[in-house]
Chains A and B, each alone.
Chain A
Amino acid sequence: MTIGSGRATIAIGTGSPSAPQPKPARATAAPSPADLHAAMALAVDLRNALASVLLGSDDAVTAAVVAALSGSHLLIEDVPGVGKTVLARALATALGAGLARIQGHPDLLPSDVTGVSVFAQDTGSWEFRPGPVFAPVVLLDELNRTPPRTQSALLEAMEEGQVSVDGTSWPLPRPHLVVATQNPVGQLGTYPLVESQLDRFGLSTTIGYPDVEVEQRLVLHDGGRDALAALTPAGSPATWAAAIEATSAVTVTPAVAAYAVAVVRATRTAAAVRLGASPRAAIALIRCAQAHAVLDQRAYATPDDVQGVAVACLAHRLVVDGTATGRTVLDEVLAATPVPVL
C-alpha cells in the first residue's frame, strides 16, 4: 500500500501504528544450502521482474537486486522521468512488501518522514503516528531538495533502525530498504548531502535515458507502468529476510577480502581524491559482492563480483577534485589493483 506525500498522517498497512512493530522471526541456525538456493531463486526472479519493467537498464536492475539482497540502501542519481518510481514500485511488488513514497521538497519536515506525536483530544494523551519511513520499502524522491534537518532525521533512522520520538523508540521493519533519488548536482535550490551522509547508502546507480528501441517499446505500452501493473510478488518479507541472511553466509576467501580492502585503500591515496572510501565502505563492498555472487547463482564470491559492484558501491562515497568523477577514479583504481588469480 502506498501513501501520498508527507503532509497527511495516514497509517500504513503493516502492523498496528500505536504499538512498536514486532521484529520478524530470525533464524537462529546458520543458513543452510537450501536457504542459499532459495535466495538465488529469489534473486533471479527479482531481476527478471525488474528487467521486464525497466527495459534495458541492466546496471540499475543489478544494483537494485544487490541492494535488496545485501540489506543496503540504494541511491539513484538521475533526472526525473526515467523510471525511478517504477523501479522502486516494481521492487516492492516483487518482494511482496509495501512501498511508501516520500516526495522531497524544501518544506519537508522530519516529522513528515518519521512520524509525529499527535495529541488526541478524546484520550488526552499523545499518540505516535508512524511516518512513511516505517514501510518495508521507502522511496524518497529528490533527497537533495529536502532540508538538512529532514535529511539527518531520515539518515539517522536508516542508521539506527529505529525512530526515537518523545523518549520512545519505534523500531523500523526488518528488512528495510530505502531507495533515495537525487537530481544531478549543479541545480539551484538543492541541499547536497555531505560525505558522511552519502556513506549511509550502500549502493548508488543511475538509470539514464533509454535507447531508441526501448523508448519506442515504452511508448507502445511494453514495459514501464503497464508491466508494473502485471507484476506478481516473487517473495514475501520473510523470504526476503531469509535471503539476506543466506547472502551474508556466502563464502568469501581471504584473497577476495584482501582484494576488496586493497581497492578501498587505493581509493584513499588515489590522485584527485579529496576523501576516499571508509572502512564502512569496505564492509559494504564485501556484502554487495556476496549479493552479486548470489545473483550470479554462485555460493562463493570472486573478484569479478567485487569488480562488478565496486563502482556502484564506492563511487558515491568519494569526494574528488577537479574534473574527475568517482567513476573515473574507480576505473583507474580497479585497473591498477592486482587481482588475485590463484
Chain B
Amino acid sequence: MNLWQRVVDANRPGPPEHSLRFRAATTAAVAVAVAACHAQGELSTPVAVGTLVATLAGNVLSYRTRQRPWPVVKPLLAVCVLGGFAWFLLTVNRTATPGDVASVEAPLATLFCWVLATHAFDVPSRRDVAYSLAGSAALVALAAAQSVDAGFALFVALWVLCVLVALVSMWQSMASVTGAPWGLLGGSVATTAAVALGLLVVLPAPQVATSLVFPSSSTGDAPVTSPSHLTDGNPTTPARSAAPSGRLGVGGYLGFARSLDTADRVALGNQVVLRVRASRPGYWVGQTYDTWSGRSWSETGGNGSRLRVLTGGSPYAIPVAGDAQAPLAANTTDVDTFYLAESGPNLVFHTENASRVYLDTPRLFLSADGTIVSSSSMAAGTVYTVVSEDNTATPAQLRSASPGGPEPVTSLTAAQEARYLQLPHPYRRVSALAHRIAGGRDRYDAVVSLERWMGTHIHYSTNIPPLPAGVDAVDSFLFRTRVGYCEQISTALTVMLRTLGIPAREAVGYVPGSYNPVTDLYDVRAKDAHAWVQVWFPGYGWQSFDPTARVPLANPSPGAVLATGLDHLAGRLPWVPIGGALVATGVVLAAVRLARRRPPTWAHRVVHDLERAGQRVLAPRATGETLVAYADRLAEALGPPGAGVPAAARSVERSVFGGETPRPAEVAAATAAARSARRVAARSARQGAARAARQAPAHGLSGGRAPGPRRRRPRRRPEDGTA
C-alpha cells in the first residue's frame, strides 16, 4: 500500500459513535474552554453564548444523523470555515498593533470558537469527536495565555475532568465495556495527577520570554489632579500616609505618600496588590526619601516642584537622573512586568535604575531621585513594563571604592551630599554608638558591621507600642526599646550611617513576594510593603542594603515551592487527631468484620480439629476426598485412640447433608473425639519426629490407603479378546 493509499485510508471516517457520554463530555469540555476564554476577556458575551448554543445544536444534529450524515453538511462547513479565516485575517490586519499579542489573541479566540462551533455539526464518528476535544484544548491554551491569577485553576480542573471523562467514555465505547466508569475514572484521575505532579516538579519553572513582548494596558485614563501628582488610586484624592479606616489596613498607612511617618503603627492585610513577572527577584522600588525630621521622612521637592515631565507616550526612555550615573559594565537588564490587582497609587514601581517604561499614559513625572509617577490613575488591571539596568556591585568592588579613588566616574555634588547627610539634630549618642561599631572601616564594611549589630541587638516585631510624643524615633528605638520593624530598623541604620558621614537614604517599596510557579508571577501582597536603606558608593551609585529581609537570588523551582508548601502544610496539620481518627477507623472496621464472621459451629470445629490432626500424621485431606473417607483413613492411622473419629465424621455429615440437628450427646461425643484425635496426633507427631531423629524411620504413622475417593478393591479384569 503506497503512501497515498495509506493517507486516504487513515482519513476514512470510522464507524458512527454511539456513546452519548463521550459526546456530552466533549461538549462540556468545549463549554468550559469557552467560559475560560470569556472570563479572561478574550471573547465577548454574545460570541461565547453563540458558540455554546451552536456547539450544542451541532452535536445534537450530528448524533441524530450519525448513521447517515447529510452530504450537504461537509461542503457547507468548509465554506464557513474559510469565511472565518478570511474574517480573522482582515481583522488582524486592521486592528493589530505590532508587539502586542493581546490584540491578536481576541480575534484568534473568536476564530477558534467559530471553527469549533462549525465542526460540531459534522461529528458522526469517534475521530471527529476527538478532534473537537483537541480543539477545546487549543481554546484553553489561549485562555491560559492571558490569565495571571490562581482563579484560573478552577477552569483548568473542570476542563481536565471533562477531558478525562470524555477519554474514558471513548475507550468504553471502543472496547464495548458496560457499566459506569467510576473505578476507571478514579484510577485515571489519580494516575494523571501523579504524572502531572511528577512532571511539574521535574520540569523547570515556566520562563515566559519577556524580551519579546512588553505588555502594557491601562483601564482608566483619568488624569491625576492632585497637587503632588501622587494619589491613592482615586484620581482626585492625594495620597495620604495614614488613614484610621484605610481599606488595606487597620490604622495603617494606606499606601505610598509624599512622606513616611514612622510613628504610624501598621497592620497590613494579605491581599495581593500587584503581580510581577520578573526573570529574577528584586526589590520593587517605589520612592526614596532624603529628609529625616526625627519622626518622619519626606522628600525634598516632593511637593511637585523640581519634577521632570516626560511626554510622548509609551515607551518612555528614562534619562539618567542627576545623582544616578551611568551604570558600569557587566550588568544585566531586567524586564519586569507589573500587573496591578488592586487600584493603588500611581507610582511606577521598578527595580533600580529604570531605563524604559512601557505605560499607556500621556505623561510621566520624574523626580530627581528616580521616583516615577504616572499622570493617569492606576486602577486594578493596569499593566506596565519597566526595563532596568542592574547596577549591583559585588562586595569586593564596593570595598575598593572610596571617595577620591582612581577615576571616580560617578560622584555626588556637594548639594546632593549635604542632602543625603542631613540630620535634624546631631545625634550624639547615636554617633558614638555608630563610631564604636563601625568606626575606622571603609564604607562597605561599615555598613555591613552596622547591619550585623542590628541583627544581633535588635528584635524584629510588628507589634510595638506607639511612639510617645516629643521623643526622637531613633533614640527611642536604639536606646530604649530595641524592638521594631522595617521602618524603624532602616531609619536607624540610615541615621547611623549619616552620623558616620556616609550618604544614605530611605527607600520604600515592596519585597518580591511569593513566587507562584504555575503562573510564573510574583504575588506581592499588602504586607510585603517594605522600607530599606540605600547607600551611596562613589563609582557604583546607590546600592541597596536591607537589614531586615532576605531576598533569594533566583526564581525558585516549582519543586522547591512545592516542598516548602508541603512543609508548611505538614507543620500545620494536626497530626495527632488525624492519626487517632485513622486508628479508630481501622479498629471499627476490624471489629465489624469480626462481628460479621459467623461464629463457628460445632461442625466447623470438629472438621478443623480433624484436619489439623490429619496434617500432623499424614498428608492433608486431598481435594477429592470426602470427610468420611478421610476420617476412616485418619482412624486407621491413629489406631485405638482414634476410634471415635469415623462416628464424629458421620455426625458432621448427618448434620450438614441430612439437615438433622444431632442430639447434644452426639455433638459432645463428636467434639470430644475430634479434640482427642488432635491431641493424640500432636503427641505422636512429636514422638515420631523424635524417633525419626534417633533412628532411620522404619515406618511412620503413614496411612494405609493412598488418599483419594473411596474405592472398593478392584477386581481382576478379564483380558481383552477372550470370548
In the complex, what distance in Å separates the CA atom of A58 from the CA atom of B723? 24
Residues of B within 8 A of A82 (CB): 718
Type the 1/0 row for A328-342, where 1 means its CB is closer than 8 Å to any CB of B: 000100111111011
Minimum C-beta distance from B647 to chain A (A): 14
Rounded to whole Å, the gap between the CB of A106 and the closest CB of chain B is 15
Instruction: For residue A339, give the distance in angstroms from its CB to the closest CB of chain B.
Output: 5
Stretch from A67-75, A95-103, A114-122, A180-188 at the B interface: A180-188
Whether A338 lies near B623 (C-beta < 8 A) is: yes
Contacting residues, chain A, for B653 (C-beta < 8 A): 302, 304
A308 CB contact (under 8 Å) in B656, B710, B720 = B710
Contacts of B718 in A (CB 8 A): 78-79, 82, 184, 208-209
Say if the beta carbon of A59 comes within 8 Å of chain B.
Answer: yes
B624 pairs with A336, CB closer than 8 A: yes
Q: Closest chain A residue to B658 by CB distance?
A: A300
User: Which A22-66 residues have a C-beta within 8 angstroms of B?
Assistant: 57-59
List residues 277-326 of chain B with CB under 8 A from any CB of chain A: none
Contact: B626 with A342, CB < 8 Å? no
Instruction: Indicate which residue in B710, B712, B720 contacts A58 across the interface (CB closer than 8 Å).
Output: B712
CB-CB under 8 A from A183, the residues of chain B are 723
Please pick, from B604, B658, B710, the residue contacting A307 in the complex, using a CB distance under 8 A. Answer: B710
Residues of A within 8 A of B657 (CB): 251, 253, 255-256, 300-303
Q: A178-196, CB under 8 A of B: which get 1 and which 0?
A: 0000011011000000000
Is A133's beta carbon under 8 Å from chain B? no
Whether a CB of chain A sits under 8 angstroms from the CB of B625 is yes
Q: For residues 251 through 285 of chain A, which have their beta carbon under 8 Å from a beta carbon of chain B?
A: 251, 253, 255-256
Q: Does B13 touch A at the CB level, under 8 Å? A: no
* CB atoms of B626 and A304 under 8 A apart: yes
Let me know if B709 and A341 touch, CB within 8 A. Answer: no
Question: For the complex, what is the distance from the CA of A338 to the CA of B721, rounded to whole Å?
Answer: 38
A102 to B406, CA, bound (A): 141
The verdict on A80 contacting chain B, using a C-beta distance below 8 Å, is yes
Which chain B residues lie closer than 8 Å to A337 at the CB level? 623-624
A302 adjacent to B723 (CB under 8 Å): no
Per-position binary interface string of chain B over residues 614-649, scored 1 when its CB falls under 8 Å from any chain A CB and 0 otherwise: 000000001111111100000000000000000000
Q: Is the CB of A206 within 8 A of B717?
A: yes
Bound CA–CA A277/B722 (angstroms):
29
User: Any chain A CB within 8 A of the CB of B607?
Assistant: yes
Interface of A is mostly: loop
Smallest CB–CB gap between A41 and chain B, Å? 19
Q: Which residues of B contact A184 (CB under 8 A)?
A: 718, 720
**Quick one: given A208-B717, A342-B603, are A335 and B654 in contact (CB under 8 Å)?**
no
Query: Among B623, B654, B723, which residue has its beta carbon within 8 angstroms of that of A79?
Result: B723
Closest CB of chain A to B497's CB: distance in Å? 93
Q: Knowing A59-B715, A253-B659, A341-B607, say if A335 contacts B720 (CB, 8 Å).
A: no
**Does residue A298 face the partner (Cβ distance < 8 Å to B)?**
yes
How does the 8 Å CB contact mask read for B704-718 relative to A, with 1 for contact and 0 for none?
000011101001111
B625 surroundings in chain A (CB, below 8 A):
339
CB distance from B666 to the nearest CB of A (A): 15
Contact A187 B623 (CB under 8 A): no
Which residues of chain A from 288 to 310 have a CB within 8 Å of any chain B CB? 298-304, 307-308, 310
Size category of the binding interface on chain B: 20 to 34
CB neighbours of A208 from chain B (8 A): 715-718
Q: Which residues on A sit within 8 Å (CB–CB) of B622?
A: 335
Pairwise interchain contact B624-A334, C-beta atoms closer than 8 A: yes
Partner of B624, one of A299, A308, A338: A338
Residue among A82, A298, A302, A310 with most chain B CB within 10 A: A302
Partner of B709, one of A207, A209, A256, A307: A307
A339 touches B624 (CB 8 A): yes
- In the complex, the answer to whether B656 meets A253 with C-beta atoms within 8 Å is yes
Q: Within the assembled complex, what's the spacing in Å between the Cα atoms of A76 and B653?
A: 32
Closest Cβ of chain B to A157, distance in Å, is: 29
Quote the shortest CB–CB distance from A82 to chain B (angstroms): 8
Taken together as a complex, chains A and B put the C-alpha atoms of A339 and B656 apart, in Å, by 13
Contact assessment for A304 and B716 in the assembled complex, using a CB-CB cutoff below 8 Å: no
Known A-B contacts A187-B723, A253-B659, A307-B709; the reply to A209 vs B716 at CB < 8 A is yes
Residues of chain B within 8 A of A80, CB atoms compared: 723
A298 partner residues in chain B, CB cutoff 8 A: 654, 658
Which residue of B658, B708, B720 is within 8 Å of A251 (Cβ)? B658
How far apart are B191's CB and chain A's nearest CB, in angstroms?
39
Give Cα distance in the complex from A281 to B549, angstroms: 91
Contact yes or no, B715 A206, CB < 8 A = yes
Can you list 13 A-B contacts with CB-CB less than 8 angstroms, sorted by A residue number?
A80-B723, A186-B720, A187-B723, A208-B717, A251-B658, A253-B659, A303-B626, A304-B628, A307-B709, A331-B708, A338-B623, A341-B656, A342-B656
- Which chain B residues have a beta carbon within 8 Å of chain A's beta carbons? 603-604, 607, 622-629, 652-654, 656-660, 708-710, 712, 715-718, 720-723
Q: A298-B654, A302-B628 known; 17 other A-B pairs, CB under 8 Å?
A: A79-B723, A186-B721, A187-B723, A208-B718, A209-B718, A251-B657, A251-B659, A253-B659, A255-B656, A300-B658, A304-B628, A335-B624, A335-B709, A339-B627, A341-B626, A342-B603, A342-B652
Closest 6 CB pairs of A and B: A300-B658, A208-B715, A335-B624, A307-B709, A334-B709, A79-B718
